[in-house]
Structure 1
Amino acid sequence: MKKSERLNQELLYLTDKKIFHLKELEEKFAISERTALRDITDLEQLGLAFYSETGRSGGYHITNSKLLLPIRFNTQEINAIFFALQAIKNLSETPYSNEYQKIQTKLLKNLPQKLQNQISLQKEFVHYISQPSLNEVPFFTLLLKACLDNSVILARNFQFIKEEQKLQLLDIFYQAGNWFCHAYNLDLKRWFVLRLDKFETVKLLNTKQSVMNKEQLLDSFRQYEQEHYCIPYQCQLTKIGEQKVEYNSYPIMQIDHKHGKIYLNGKYNKEELHYLVDYLISLGSEVKVLKPKELKDSYLEKLNEIIQQY
């Protein structure tokens, strides 16, 4: 490890500590006592404030552990940051949508000219084609806050229930061009997967109603998955089919290799059978439905509907 990188890692290691000992650095970073002493001098010059104390409770006592310290990135890490910014710029529907370009501009101005030129070339000739957000999400900021704070919301989302619902959000996720959430309906005691762009009203509630913490929510959701997705299915995939599934799959799915063949295994709920059929249709000739008969029949019926259009 280069010295600059080691100092960077040492800063990160010490940031949340109140006290450290020379032996810690020697063992953590596999360096000699002499090198550790030199590093401590360099760390002080970089802005780490501390005082040393001898005796049984001695060591180096950090006095500004909560202050932001200058963290240095190497060329590979800088390239990784700009790659990430390029990759997420199509996700226009987030609370931070307007900040990505500002971040990129600030970072670029703080780089040496040679590295700025390299990043500019990278932006010009390296393109990350990703699925953009398909729909506007008016209440994204409020829904994100409710999820992170574990707050109860009173909301209208007409996907399943035609009236206001008291909800707790377990998480928020992005898939196939849309934002979704796993939401627990406190009145119906049921879980739903809801699209964020389908929320028509959202209001944070200061309710005394008994709510679950995140750990309890997660346990409840796992139990719901086991009970709700109860019909097992199996399909056979080609190698290209496997790649397509890996690119766009759902949690209640897994790919298995057995006797030289590739299988897609999972479970579905009868109410959501048409969603699974549409997904399998999207795989084209790279999938063959094996079981159960209900899924195979629905799949063939959908194929016949498509054929009838011609």
Structure 2
Amino acid sequence: MKKSERLNQELIYLSDKKVFHLKELEEAFAISERTALRDIADLEQLGLAFYSETGRSGGYHITNSKLLLPIRFNTSEINAIFFALQAIKNISETPYSNEYQKIQAKLLKNLPTRLQEQIKLQEEFVQYVSQPSLNKVIFFDLLLKACIDNDLILAENQQFIKGKQKLQLLDLFYQAGNWFCHAYNLDLKRWFVLRLDKFRMVKQLKSDRVIISKNELSESYQEYEQKHYCIPYQCLLTKIGEQKIKYNSYPIMQIMHQGQKIYLNGRYNKEELHYLVDYLISLGSEVKVLKPQELRDSYLRKLKQIIKQY
């Protein structure tokens, strides 16, 4: 590691510390005592404010509670940041949709001229293809807050239940062009996977009951998943089919290699059989349904419906 990079990493390492010892830097960065002492002197020159104390409880005491020192990125790290910003633009159907361009402009402006030119060339010659958000999410900020703060909300999402529901959200996730959440209905004591763009009303409620903790919600969902997705299935995949599934898969799916064969194993619920069939149809000839017979029959019926169109 170059010295400039090491100093940068040492600043990050010390950013949440009030006291540190020479031995810590030696062990964390695999450097000698002499190098650690030189680094401390250089960090002081960069603006790190500290004083030293001797004795058993001694060490270097940092006097500024926050390190307001510039964090420097190397070329590879800068490229990684701009690659990431470009990659997430298409899925930015969030309250922060308009912020990515601003972030990129600020970062670019603070780079040396040579690196600015390099990033502009990168944007010109490297094409970013990612799956865009298909639908606008009106209440993303409220749903995100409810999830993070573990709030009880009153909501309308008529995918499964007509009318208003009291919900707690375990998490939010993005898949196949849409945002979803795992939501627990407190009145029905039942889990649902809901699309965020389908919410028509969201309101935070002052809890009139005991809020379920995040740990309890997580345990409850794992138990539900085991009981709800109770029918095992297995398919045979080609190598291309394996790649397609890795690009767009679900948590209850698992790819297994046995000898020269590639299998897709998973579980489904009867109520959601048609979703699984549509998913497998989308893989075309890269998948062959092996079992159970119910899934094979549904898959073949769907194929016949498609053939009839021609």
Aligned-pair CA distance for 1:92: 3.2
What are the residue-to-residue correspondences of 1:149-164 with 2, within 5 Å? 149-164=149-164
Match of 1:109 in 2: 109
Decide which moves more: 174-183 or 31-40. Answer: 31-40
Aligned-pair CA distance for 1:140: 0.5
The Cα RMSD (Å) is 0.9
Matched, 1:305 2:279: no
What are the residue-to-residue correspondences of 1:173-212 with 2, within 5 Å? 173-212=173-212
When normalised by structure 1's length, the TM-score is 0.98
Residues 202-222 of structure 1, C-alpha deviations (whole Å, 9 max, x = no match): 001111311211111111110
Aligned-pair CA distance for 1:282: 0.2
When normalised by structure 2's length, the TM-score is 0.98
Segments of 4+ moved more than 4 angstroms: none
Aligned-pair CA distance for 1:30: 1.4
Residues 141-176 of structure 1, C-alpha deviations (whole Å, 9 max, x = no match): 110010010101100000000010000011000011
Q: 1 CA distance for matches of 2:115 and 2:198?
A: 44
Decide which moves more: 230-239 or 199-208. Answer: 199-208
Shift in alpha-carbon separation, 1:289–1:153, aligned structure 2, 3 A: same
Q: Aligned partner of 1:147: which letter?
A: C
What are the residue-to-residue correspondences of 1:97-246 with 2, within 5 Å? 97-246=97-246
- Structure 1 vs Structure 2: percent identity of aligned residues? 81
Gaps of 5+ in 1: none
Aligned residue for 2:47, secondary structure, equals coil
Decide which moves more: 202-211 or 273-282. Answer: 202-211
The answer to whether the Cα contact below 8 Å between 1:47 and 1:70 also exists between their aligned partners in 2 is no
Q: Aligned partner of 2:47: which letter?
A: G
Residues 100-131 of structure 1, C-alpha deviations (whole Å, 9 max, x = no match): 00010011111111111110000011011011
Aligned residue for 2:51, secondary structure, equals strand
Aligned residue for 1:201, secondary structure, equals strand
Aligned-pair CA distance for 1:68: 3.7
Matched, 1:252 2:241: no
Q: Aligned partner of 1:288: which letter?
A: K
Decide which moves more: 45-54 or 147-156. Answer: 45-54
Q: Aligned partner of 2:237: which letter?
A: L
Q: 1 CA distance for matches of 2:106 and 2:225?
A: 44
Aligned residue for 2:91, secondary structure, equals coil
Aligned-pair CA distance for 1:263: 0.3
Match of 2:277 in 1: 277
Aligned residue for 1:89, secondary structure, equals helix
Q: 1 CA distance for matches of 2:144 and 2:46?
A: 36
Matched, 1:28 2:28: yes
Q: Aligned partner of 1:157: which letter?
A: N
Q: Name the count of aligned residue pairs.
A: 310
The answer to whether the Cα contact below 8 Å between 1:108 and 1:116 also exists between their aligned partners in 2 is yes
Q: 1 CA distance for matches of 2:170 and 2:66?
A: 30
Q: 1 CA distance for matches of 2:25 and 2:259?
A: 50
